[in-house]
Amino acid sequence: MFFQTIANVFRIKELRNKLLFTLAMLAVYRIGFWIPLPGVNQEMLVQFFTRAAGEGSAVGRVAQYVAIFSGGSFGQSTIFGLGIMPYITAAIIFQLFGSVSPALKKLKEEGPAGQQKITEYTRYVTVGLCLVQAVGWLSYITSQGLVYPQWANNPLWWATSIAALTAGTVFLMWLGEQIDRFGIGNGVSLIITAGILTGMPGAVLKVIDNFDPTAPEKMGWMHIILLAGGFVLVVAGSVIMTVAQRRIPVQQAKHTRGRRVFGGQRSYLPLRVNHGGVMPIIFASSLMIFPSVVFGALHDSVPQGEQIGWYYETVRWLNDAFQMGEFPYVVVYIGMVYFFSYFWITVQFNPEEMSKQLRDHGSFIPGLRPGPRTAEYLETVMERITYVGAAFLAVIAVLPMVVNKGLRVDFVVTQFLGGTGLLIVVSVALDFLQRVEANLLMRNYAGFLGGSDDGRGPRMRGSR
């Protein structure tokens, strides 16, 4: 059945062209990561960030975090070095301010024209963020001696490198828009997913290199079984929680016109259990970088001869406690995930507006009066299911660190057992499959997510 569905995908000309166009654009995206910036000592750069990642320093953690959205690695400075992250940051800024800024609210209410204006503003902010991040990145690698001396003090090199990094991000932004128009799936999300999945072959090779059943310090068969089983369970759980909904029954009011009665239909209002998606983990992991940076700087600022007394002991304890995987770090991380889960629904979920829309459409929740009582009920339900969704996000967020510490498995491998990357891949894969499914069902073909046994497409509920 699965292979028959694959054949159906390529049998439909329009769907086949969209799929091939999407793959071609992703191939162009990956080619850009092999075009290096001039003047950067690539060999020293690889050694520097490999060492930083192995030591678990703040620089290594920042590099691993940014690599999720850049699709590459700070171990290779290329024209796509900033990735798509500046555009994502700009989009998040406008999404957050869209709920509190009257001007942005007014633009949203204008429909497609207003949304086009917001997209235009997002692009301008993206360029500004690219310039700031490019200057910061080039300044950092220059201070670490990773740029050839004859280039580091050349203004022309600074101008061309900043322009190349900015143009790389703008090109990726344009590439995502082309996938949206002529391909299939969300372009920016597919670019991020492609970047994440490129790290999977390296993780597999790392497992193979560390596999030796005869050596106690190496990975054995039990480690392999636990990793494979954990990966399957985590992916299955992520799929379930991504699509999980709390369905609120909604009744449409009846209207009598002459001798005919309209309405009276029953439907439901779907509330996602994981309403925040991957955003709470992104916010939490971003902020959790700062304690290790601050405490690490305080620890290193103490002179060699003064490393005694309560001040040094306190700073040393805080520096050790807020290393990735330590118990205080994990507890604070979980608390941050819960905080941002509720913060996100406070910003994005508006029960008053939802209640008003139900009333305007002549619908109501059985047993509840339209208006404030309905809004209060929706808010209560959302708070309760968010508690469950935040618990799921917390488990997904800390699982890679727990496996890394408990089983002494490299973080390059354990990051595929949870965290931001896994949730992004699962969400994008589900969205991609649903889009392909919709194209197949329009042409009466069976899809990936279920269909009739006779191959004539899914049987509609209630049909004979």
Using H for helix, E for strand and C for coil, what is the string for the chain?
A: CHHHHHHHHHHCHHHHHHHHHHHHHHHHHHHHHHCECCCECHHHHHHHHHHHHHHCCHHHHHHHHHHHHHCCCCCCCECCCCCCHHHHHHHHHHHHHCCCCHHHHHHHHCCHHHHHHHHHHHHHHHHHHHHHHHHHHHHHHHHCCCECHHHHCCHHHHHHHHHHHHHHHHHHHHHHHHHHHHCCCCHHHHHHHHHHHCCHHHHHHHHHHCECCCCCCCECHHHHHHHHHHHHHHHHHHHHHHHCEEEEEEEECEEEECCEEEECCEEEEEEECCCCCCHHHHHHHHHCHHHHHHHHHHHHHCCHHHCCHHHHHHHHHHHHHCCCCCHHHHHHHHHHHHHHHHHHHHHHCCHHHHHHHHHHCCEECCCCCCCHHHHHHHHHHHHHHHHHHHHHHHHHHHHHHHHHHHCCCCHHHHHHHCHHHHHHHHHHHHHHHHHHHHHHHHCCCCECCECCCCCCCCCCCCCC
Mean pLDDT of 282-290: 81
Q: Which of 103-107, 203-207, 263-267, 343-347 has the lowest mean pLDDT?
A: 263-267
More confident residue, 315 or 135: 135
Q: Which domains does the chain have, with CATH numbers?
A: 12-198 (1.10.3370.10), 219-417 (1.10.3370.10)
Q: What is the pLDDT, as a whole number, of residue 171? A: 93
In the prediction, which pLDDT does 126 show?
A: 92
456 pLDDT more than 70:
no
Percent of the chain with pLDDT over 90: 14
Per-residue pLDDT band at 72 (split at 50, 70, 90): low
Hey, what amino acid is at 284? Answer: A
Those residues with Cβ within 8 angstroms of residue 231's Cβ, 6 or more apart along the chain or in another chain:
416, 417
Mean pLDDT of 150-167: 90
pLDDT confidence bin for 79, thresholds 50/70/90: confident
Report the chain's terminal Cα–Cα distance, integer Å: 22
Would you say 405 and 329 are in contact if contact means Cβ atoms under 8 Å apart?
no
Average pLDDT over the chain reads: 81
Give the integer Cα–Cα distance in Å for 403 and 149. Answer: 42
Q: Which residue has the higher pLDDT, 320 or 56?
A: 320
List, in order, residues 6 or more apart from 11 with CB less than 8 Å away.
Answer: none
Task: Give bridge partners of residue 255 from the DSSP assignment.
Answer: 262
**pLDDT digit string, tens, across residues 369-423:** 888 899 999 999 999 999 999 999 999 888 888 887 777 777 777 777 777 788 8
**pLDDT-derived band of residue 464, with 50, 70 and 90 as boundaries?**
very low
Q: Which residue, 415, 390, 394, 396, is CA-closest to 404?
A: 415
374-402 in b/e form (b: 16+ CB < 10 A) is bbebbbeebeebbeebbebbbbbbbbbbe
Instruction: Flag the least confident range among 58-62, 247-251, 391-395, 459-463.
Output: 459-463
CA-based torsion, 333, 337, 339, 344: positive or negative: positive
pLDDT at 21 over 90: yes
Residue 43 pLDDT > 70: yes
pTM above 0.85, yes or no: no
